[in-house]
Structure 1
């Protein structure tokens, strides 16, 4: 049996995406009038993830993940280009 503190420590730092099945299960539980806390506890998913998924489903009607922004990569390339073009002293 796992304690709550052990369970929280195991979940911290995860950056994996939820499977399509788990996303559908979250929405199904929401439609069955389960609270966000109950869904989080049942599926062992953080409350913020459950809340965000439900909000996204209500606004957009979809649960699929959207493409991520390329801004981080672009900013890195600009920084590298600028540092290469600095005049030598």
Structure 2
């Protein structure tokens, strides 16, 4: 099963608005044609963080680093560190 696109800020706001009007997760799901799990996740995130905006993923740099090292075992540590700095904005110490 493929991944669907993330919901727009307007739809997430509509979910919170319906929640504040005491609609159930099932009712919101049917009304907006969104899966119940997505509705529940939006409400949970809003209660915990106070926002419905998407948060940055923290694993991206680590995965990029592993892929870069695996693909190019011939490269020096300095060149890999420079690549990560330019691509991801991550400061990496090449002398480990």
TM-score, normalised via structure 1 length? 0.69
CA distance in 2, matches of 1:13, 1:44: 18
- 1:43 maps to which residue? 32
Of residues 77, 81, 87, the one that matches 2:72 is 81
More relative contact order, 1 or 2 (CA 8 Å, 6+ apart): 1
Give per-residue Cα distances to partners, 1:20-75, cap 9 Å, x unaligned: 11010000011111111111111111111111110000001001011123133222
CA distance in 2, matches of 1:64, 1:40: 19
What are structure 2's unaligned runs of at least 5 residues?
A: 76-96
CA distance in 1, matches of 2:33, 2:3: 12
- 1:6 maps to which residue? none
Deviation beyond 3 Å, 4+ runs, structure 1? none
TM-score, normalised via structure 2 length? 0.65
Of residues 55, 61, 72, the one that matches 2:63 is 72
What are structure 1's unaligned runs of at least 5 residues?
A: 1-11
What is the alpha-carbon root mean square deviation over aligned residues? 1.9
Aligned positions, number: 73
Q: How does 1:1-89 map to 2 (within 5 A)?
A: 13-69=2-58, 70=60, 71-82=62-73, 84=74
